[in-house]
Structure 1
Amino acid sequence: MGITACLITKNEEEALARSLEMISAYVDEIVIVDGQSEDNTAGVAEKFGAVLIQRKFSGSFAIERNCGIEQARNEWVFILDPDETLEPGLLESLRGLTSSPKYDAYSFLRHDVLPDGTVLETPCGHPEIHVRLAKRDRLRYYGAIHEKAIVTGRIKFVPKAIYHHRGYFEDYPQEKKERFEAIGRNASEDLQGLKISSRALLVRNVKLVFHYFGNMLIGMGLYRKGPSGIIRAIQYTYSFASYGLKQYVRLGQI
């Protein structure tokens, strides 16, 4: 099964070079949606034979993600950011995952990494899980900011990690925080990437909570710890649900 790596960039030449060096041998195509970078991002993309789509930022990260997915020529897409690295073995597992007829998408752990190398396993009070590998026609993104994967089909959790090297110690730097808040504040319904009713979002999110609990209890193996593991899975799931709801409300997405 062919795999297309999909990235979005803006002035990412150094990080992009590391990222493409890491993934190029494991995918069949690379598609980069670039927000008209002013550095050598385009040159790096050309060096690795990537399909480069340069366009003015739409005002929505979901729209940019969806643009890359729609341009992919392969059946499967692998979503990555330039400032992310992967746990050893994750890339080698991609072919085997796409060969299974049982699932339409796969989710992975995602950890923040501080500039000093400290790995934050639960930066939001719970492990983060992101869908990153999916059939092209089954995955789209919703949300102008902090975009969320919407999958039509069956998702399997794989407890391998993606590491986000965030480049700062505390919360977002003030400039980045203000820019992200402005995107969320100014996003109209057309900028959310998909047209989804509040009811459909609610149903999706309720299902996602149960799915997350299963991922923690079974996928992460917390059941092996007995009652303490079950309690931990419940705590993580509560944190996941409350954090997600606050985000939706704050960004006006529900």
Structure 2
Amino acid sequence: MEDTPAPSRHTIAGTELTMPVRVRRARQWTAMFAVDAAAAQAMIDYSGLRVARALPGRAVVVLMLMQYLDSDLGRYYEYGTNVLVKSPEGPTGAFIHHLPVDQAFTCEAGRSIWGYPKVLADFDVRERGRRLAFDVRHDGRLIVDMEFAAGQPLPAVLGEREQVYRTYSHTDGITRETLGHSRPSAVRVRPGGVRLRLGDHPYSDELRALGLPKRAFVCQTADNVDMTFGDAREIG
């Protein structure tokens, strides 16, 4: 019988993390936009990956807010600009192009363990009834200001299935792939449903080059997402 390899460990700011990292409770808001595929490809060319084309000439960009309430990386907010890409092994994955967070520990862990492009930023999150609005600023400059309206509940048989997902990152000249598992609950969806305003940050200019702001074709929220994700694998 072969010995089971010991789980890998990483020490961040004096704290040891054992893989896989677990997120026990998190809230999620995502908005998906159809954008010009050539513009999206130009934005992520540095990664060596190719955008997935949902329709001829169109790619998908996902803008996302996560609120991590109970995780191995602590409590924090995270904003992401993700581009759906072709996985080298076939399935579609998400390339993470921007990833501001509001806590130093997860910033250091994300950059050193997975090569995620995390930077420290300031978040202002406002909830009014069933609407959520937030803005995120880096170096005092606004990146995005978004507001999500509540959608319609998705039946549990559709919205609460366990999912395997692939994320990709590229830092220090290295492209990495990270596999994870997630199970969302209390999922709501609706066409549109998102107001987006861009600021004066360089990240904002990159989003303008994609044709944003525009109407999202769908938004989705989840009251909780349970996740695990392991070590990154270098792919290029």
Give TM-score scaled by structure 1 length: 0.25
Highest RCO, 1 vs 2 (Cα 8 Å, sep ≥ 6) = 2
Greater percentage in strand? 2
Answer 1 or 2: which has greater helix percent: 1
TM-score (norm 2): 0.26
